[in-house]
Copies of this chain bind each other. A is one copy, B any other.
Amino acid sequence: MDDGMSPFAARVGQLRSSTLRDLVAAASASDTQHVLSLAGGLPPAQALPVDALHAAVERVLAAGGDALQYCPTEGVGDLLDLIAADLQTRLGIPEPRGRMVITAGSQQALDLIGKVLLDPGDVAVVEHPGYVGALRAFAAYQPRFVGVPVDDGGIDTAQLAEMLDAGLRPKLCYLVPNFSNPSGATLCAQRRVHLAELSARHGFLVVEDDPYGQLRFTGEALPPIATIGGQVAYLGSFSKVIAPGLRVGYAVVPNWLVRPLVVAKQAADLNSSTFAQRLVAEILKDQAFINAHVAMLVDLYRERAQALLAAVERVLRGRLRARVPVGGMFSWASIEARGVDAIALCRAAMTRGVALVPGNEFTVDGGFPADVRLSFAMLDPDEITEAVTRVGAALDDLAVR
């Protein structure tokens, strides 16, 4: 039956996560030393609110079995109310309540938006480098990906404007505006306005994926594109501020997209876990708790980001330059040591017991031969310093060869 598989099956079967997989396999094999991971974007154990979740379970189950039933496809009403109120007051997103769908993390929102909007050959504009999960989700619908470069101010909307003027007609433009994965860059204020204008003028959907927005280390939050103009789907997630294992996220979409998205969600899994949704609602109801929890997370990740940047500056100066993120979990680093390839560095680092991810993992068609993504989320400051020291040793190893 192999020849009975659709082009999709053949294609997804080939999708690279091979480098990452090799690295993980190498990590498991090298049990002689503890592997320090600068690779993943997972919350560390102390970021997970186990006690609050436990208390939420008590309250939810005290009400009986309702939380164990099916629920409306768009989500549990209480949770939708709480999220909508927060988005309106904290971010100024206009009238979100009737335009929302709860999804299994924002990953599912990406899949469903791709399913509803993308036909084979349609253009999907993405950050270059961009979030690999979005590339995978959209790839299933066989779009033509067009990468637009990212610098310290986020995706370069001037370059996008040139492409649009030259006739590019995208269905959507996907980006992570705050502390992007993998670039660590934040879209500056002018570009937010520019992107909203481009969306309004050229009629494409901006998919504004904001899982890290609350994890800002310094400065004022910039307005979401969804508050400025254009056609915008704003995606949020509780994976980074509560727990990824609940798989609860959401999408706030333009009115015309609500019904197709709900129908696609119903076909995909009927509804997201009622139980998980009610737990998130219980946690959000306690505003004092969630505010304190987010503040704790910001302190935690800020300290780790500072440890990473300080160690890179001290140990790797002139050999590796890391972008300074103002929030989130990632920095993007460029290799300055001459003739050193990112994949070779990642391999050498793995033999030294450090995992990091080469830049070409974050593109559809390669590129970034001399860049790596550094995540500072999972290690404490001392471990980060040790990891960076080992990266330095790996660079030494490569220089010797």
How far does the Cβ of A115 sit from chain B's closest Cβ, in whole Å? 6
| Interface contact B136-A267, CB-CB below 8 Å | yes
Q: Kindly state whether residue A107 has any CB partner on chain B within 8 Å.
A: yes
Interface segment among A48-56, A305-313, A315-323, A331-339: the answer is: A48-56
User: Is A259 interfacial (CB-CB < 8 Å)?
Assistant: yes
Determine if B264 and A12 form an interchain contact, defined as CB atoms under 8 angstroms apart: yes
Chain A interface helix/strand/loop/mixed: helix
A269–B269 Cα distance when bound, in Å, is 11
- Most B Cβ at <10 Å: residue of A104, A257, A259: A104
CB of A71 within 8 A of CB of B12, answer no
Q: Taking the complex as formed, is A181 at the interface, i.e. its CB lies under 8 A from any CB of chain B?
A: no
Q: How many copies does the complex hold?
A: 2
Q: Which residues of B contact A118 (CB under 8 A)?
A: 6
A64, CB-defined interface residue at 8 Å: yes
Say whether A246 contacts B270, CB under 8 Å. Answer: no
Q: Count chain A residues whose beta carbon lies closer than 8 angstroms to a beta carbon of B.
A: 72
Residues of B within 8 A of A117 (CB): 4-6, 9
Segment of A271-279, A344-352, A382-390 in the binding face? A271-279
Task: Give the distance in Å from the alpha carbon of A56 to the alpha carbon of B15 in the complex.
Answer: 37
7 residue pairs from A and B, CB less than 8 Å apart: A50-B64, A53-B68, A54-B57, A57-B61, A111-B269, A136-B263, A247-B271
